[in-house]
Structure 1
């Protein structure tokens, strides 16, 4: 379509779409599906970006320095072209004319009828939202560290155990999921659950936790309760992931021989299966009050011998790959 005609059509589209959105608070852009050049923008767009409308009409969305690979952006556009009734929502980053960057949420849709065919992008500045999220994250991290330290304060002989289990669990998860952003939530849940997996031991008498000889049956039973105790402690704490349930399951085994519920196979969450392997490797390779370290070779031999029986075979294989590539505990 000609530039004059397309501009008039874009202006008409903007006027119609403007009736359903507060243009003074959100940025709104219309751009051509083929050239990607901006056809129109509202006052919110020009004021927040710092560009005039004439300047924007010589630009494309990528000229706003979207923190997005061009290929990825074009994939999004192609999906929308195939299904004009759909829309995409994603977070990225824009850079103003003066060079300042700000996080945005973009809602993108192809507007198509007998009169026009244009992409409509509604852009929301989410700077304040991000600040709030960062504040919440700092508070959550402080809570996690405080809860994790409860066990170490009562059981100094295993100081650092939860941190080391978390290190290995995350290394396994990242390799298992190729460190893909799509799985960042599950990786983060594994990190946090591993940091807290033994919190139930805070309910076990200190003299049992630090006993320098093997435990008797009653004492061992009390220690075994730490998974359920951990669940009871954590179930009332808000996390954006099922941390209490993962902690509840970290001593379950694939064949049902674990505790406290004797879960089998896929009834055990993958997060718990990962932490289980990391927990066994760290515990066997470290010193305990009642024994010296059994060594890393013995620890890895254990998970190899019982791969598919007690431990998830895929998790075991990935764990071995991680160590083959030089993984070492930091703490």
Structure 2
């Protein structure tokens, strides 16, 4: 059993967790992980039974200490930076859940916002198609959305019309973005997205995280992203900071794209009339309005205090039935 902490590439091409971790605790703890280190957020991990023989080693670091304390494994590496972390073992709905965190990511403030549940402007009965190859897909549970699984020609979330994609969003983690950019795959994806009338890429991280990358030159990633935006200006790459915000942005983008499509087909005025909110009920009368009406009808009402409900009801009945003369 090695006393090193080892990071390798996950050879399983269908896994959404691209890295393997080997923790020197007991007989060894082997995990799949989304990142090579929890730099900007907690990293979700999942257990693996065996270490694959053909795993490509990305990093090997000597370990100063690795101890189990209750529900956590405290890992200290023999290096000056990014050396202390903790793996927290919990259970969610009866299943083991593991999060890899550092003191920084554990204390890092979440965005001081509450994701709104209000429907996107001028949109009703929005139907979003999710690519059936997308794992851990957005559910849009906070929004009034019908979600359907489909095989999409471009992107991960889309609005379809007559069987074709009219608006789509490609979702990426920072790791996936960097991997697809350095391998050249992102350019092919952007070419496919550019063929859609309205398309975008949303990244579940901050743009600043690009400049904290260790295993690739940050400047090369920044240059590559800039070149992609110059070459495909109609496909914006949006950094949404967190997964919930990326999901919210995807919903708003697709909703706006649907409105734009309807406006192209029918005109803005028609779309506004179709999507307008139902007419609101008239506001209740003020006490002053009821007193003026009651005095005109020769009804006795005090100048102060609460207006009797019978007078309010009589006023509303008179308003609905039309003008009436003074009581005789």
More helix by share: 1
Quick check: which has more Rg, 1 or 2?
Answer: 2
Flag whether TM exceeds 0.5 (same fold): no
> Comparing both chains, which one has the higher relative contact order based on Cα–Cα distances under 8 Å and sequence gaps of 6 or more?
1
TM-score if structure 1 supplies the norm length?
A: 0.23
TM-score if structure 2 supplies the norm length?
A: 0.23
More strand by share: 2
